[in-house]
Amino acid sequence: MNVVPKKANSIGDMYINFIGSDHMAVYYFEYIWTMELLIKILENSSKNRARIIFCLSVLNDLYYFVLDDSDKFSKDEYWSEFRKVKKLLYPYSDKFYDGLLEKNVGNCC
């Protein structure tokens, strides 16, 4: 996956609109596997800064999205799947990094 810095935003927008809707902040169940693929790409991108930024940006955005397929699951199944995805994406969210920052700032002073 070759990501040119100038095109990272537009590629991210296309990806998000492929697996869900950026305007509605939703993703579809059948594309959750692509989030796992992005994580694998990120894990193997140590030499490509643009690709790292692209993956982190998209994964962070998706952390705040919701699963749109509520009509395909029972209420319990829906929340179970939603929580799994939140847990998967949390280490790539700004919420995770904010927590680390607060923890480290609190320890230094």
pLDDT tens column, 45-102: 888 888 888 899 999 999 999 999 778 889 999 999 999 999 999 999 998 877 666 6
Its domain, for residue 57, covers 5-108
Digit-coded pLDDT (tens) for 7-36 = 777 888 889 999 999 889 999 999 999 999
Overall number of domains in the chain: 1
What per-residue confidence (pLDDT) applies to 108?
Answer: 56
106: left (phi over 0), alpha (psi -120 to 50) or beta: alpha
> Contact, 72 vs 81, CB < 8 A?
no
Radius of gyration of the chain (CA): 15
Which amino acid, one-letter code, is at 90?
Y
The SS3 call for residue 67 is strand
